Amino acid sequence: MATANTVHGRIESARPALTTPRVALGLTLIAILGFTLLFVQEPLVHDSLHNARHAAGITCH
Amino acid sequence: MLESYLVRGLKAGLVAGVALGLFVAVLANPMIAAAEGLAGDHGGHHASDGSGGHHAGEGGHGGQEASGVLGVVSAPLISVVGGVFWGLLLGVLTFGLAFYFLEPAIPGTGATKSAIAAAGGFVTVSGAPWLVLPPQPPGVEQALSTDARLALYAGLMLAGLSACLLAGYVYTGLRDGGRGRALVGAAVPFCTLVGLAFVLPANPATQSLPVAFVAAFRAQVVFGQAMVWTLLAGTHAWLAAGDETDEKQFATDVGVDDPVTAD
């Protein structure tokens, strides 16, 4: 590990692994999951996750 | 290296997620069913916020009868799964991605770093939004519309994250001038965050539920999320300590210079 132990060094050392498809895939998965749990108001999805939202204290209808 | 962080985050997330799933199943589901029972059958309250018209006519969420996706699996059951995914998401994001990049900048060593990351995660995801939008049991009428509240919640998450990052930055910058000064400096962004909550539009709520019930509900939610973050931090610190020992052991056994990439 040639890079220094700084935030900058971490970004540098991760760069080779961060290919565009991987980043795109990762961000998409996180966005889908986060969006579904936090913001989707589609009745079917929302009603299904209703208790989980209240239990996590996320604002709800 | 990034991979091992992501895997640790995923594992910690799984532990916290399963715990949250159990929490939803054992405590939250019955509590919410009780709230819906207490709120009685004025199921029309959902229609009043403009976007909730789909709830009208079904008597709230129907308590025990509530059905989830396609009506095959019950909604409370899906919420249990939702709890597991909530833990996984927080674990991967906070302890996989964020912790990998920010670890050098987080004060402390070992378990302290994990605990600070968890505290930052809690402030971002729950603490900051709760300043304006505290957890509410079902059946509470709130002044702001759902869309406005979702936008506000997202904005406050961003504000909470900014406050945490800024506090970390200020702390690191002032640390050489004494720990006390650094702590005071780090407190400024959080005070600003609390101040911000007073400036933002208020969201008065009207409810027919007993005050004690609402208080108990909130205590339960706070307990649940505190449990999630404690488990995340604990599991992560434990896994990180274990991996470090393994890597050192491996390095001495094989004699490699770079144990991190030798997985």
Domain residue spans of chain A: 19-61
- CB count within 10 Å of CB B80 equals 23
Question: CB-based contact (8 Å) between A22 and chain B?
Answer: no
ipTM of the modeled complex: 0.89
Length of chain A: 61
Q: Residues near A2 by Cβ (< 8 Å), separated by ≥ 6?
A: none
pLDDT of residue B246: 81
**A23 burial via Cβ count (<10 Å: 0-12, 13-18, 19+):** exposed
**Which of B47-61, B73-87, B168-182 is predicted with the least confidence, judged by mean pLDDT?**
B47-61
* Residue B150 in domain: no
Dump strand ranges (E) for chain B: 140-142, 205-207
Question: CB-based contact (8 Å) between A2 and chain B?
Answer: no
CA of B187, closest CA in chain A: separation in Å?
22
Using CA atoms, how far apart are residues B124 and A5, in angstroms rounded to an integer?
25
* Residue B148 in domain: no
- Round to the nearest angstrom and report the end-to-end CA distance of chain A: 49
Q: Residues near B18 by Cβ (< 8 Å), separated by ≥ 6?
A: B84, B87
CA of A21, closest CA in chain B: separation in Å?
16
Indicate whether B63 pLDDT > 60.
Answer: no
Work out how many domains chain B is built from and give that number.
1
Q: Which two tokens stand for residue B176?
A: 């050489």
Q: Is the Cβ–Cβ distance between B54 and B47 less than 8 Å?
A: no
* Residue B153 in domain: no
Question: CB-based contact (8 Å) between B168 and chain A?
Answer: no
Taking contacts as CB-CB distances below 8 angstroms, the residues of chain A near B136 are 54, 59-60
Q: Encode pLDDT of A24-60 as tens digits.
A: 999 999 999 988 888 888 888 888 888 888 999 888 7
Q: Which two tokens stand for residue B263?
A: 């997985």
Taking contacts as CB-CB distances below 8 angstroms, the residues of chain A near B137 are 54
